[in-house]
Amino acid sequence: MQVLQVQLEVLPDPAEVSRARRWARSRLAGSGIGADEPLAETLLLLISELVTNAVVHTGCPAVLRMLFPGAETSEAGPVPGGAGTVRVEVADSSDRPPSPRHARGDDTGGRGLELVDGLADRWGWQREGSGKHIWCEVDRSKSQGAPLMGGMLDKTRQISLRC
């Protein structure tokens, strides 16, 4: 299966989060995922959370990557919005792994990876060179027509990224 990978360098500045979302929105449209699809909304929220974690907790540049499955084809040609898995990765130069953090009700942070856990079909992290990358995957076939929050607010686990 052929996979399309695109990537964006992100500076350690909170303003980069909105730039990453705009960039990702245009790449989603180019991959056949419409801006008004629940899948696009979910992916943009996941990207916001992962990029925010990298920017806030590492203080160093990061790289946002999106990997799209190859387009499905039929006798009439490519089929937009086909099945497959969309993968989002954010790589940074910090070698400190994500660690659990328990946010309290009034805390303004500490819930990013809880959102990732609730919205993504899978997520994890791995070392990359002297740093790491955190990744998440969304299965296109499962997410079509699914509600954005998908019951994840019922989860009680509080996790965030501390580098």
Residue (of 131, 47, 61, 63) closest to 97 by Cα position: 131
108 CB-contact burial (10 Å; exposed 0-12 / middle 13-18 / buried 19+): exposed
- Number of domains making up the chain: 1
pLDDT digits (tens, 9 = 90+) for 86-117: 999 999 999 888 765 777 888 777 788 888 99
Kindly report, residue by residue over 111-133, the tens digit of the pLDDT. 888 889 999 999 999 998 999 99
Domain holding 141, by residue range, is 3-71+80-160
pLDDT confidence tier of residue 82, bands split at 50, 70 and 90:
low
What CATH code is carried by the domain that includes residue 135? 3.30.565.10
- Indicate the pTM of the whole model: 0.79
The token pair that represents 107 in the structure block = 């805390």
Task: Report the chain's C-alpha Rg in angstroms.
Answer: 16
Contact, 10 vs 68, CB < 8 A? no
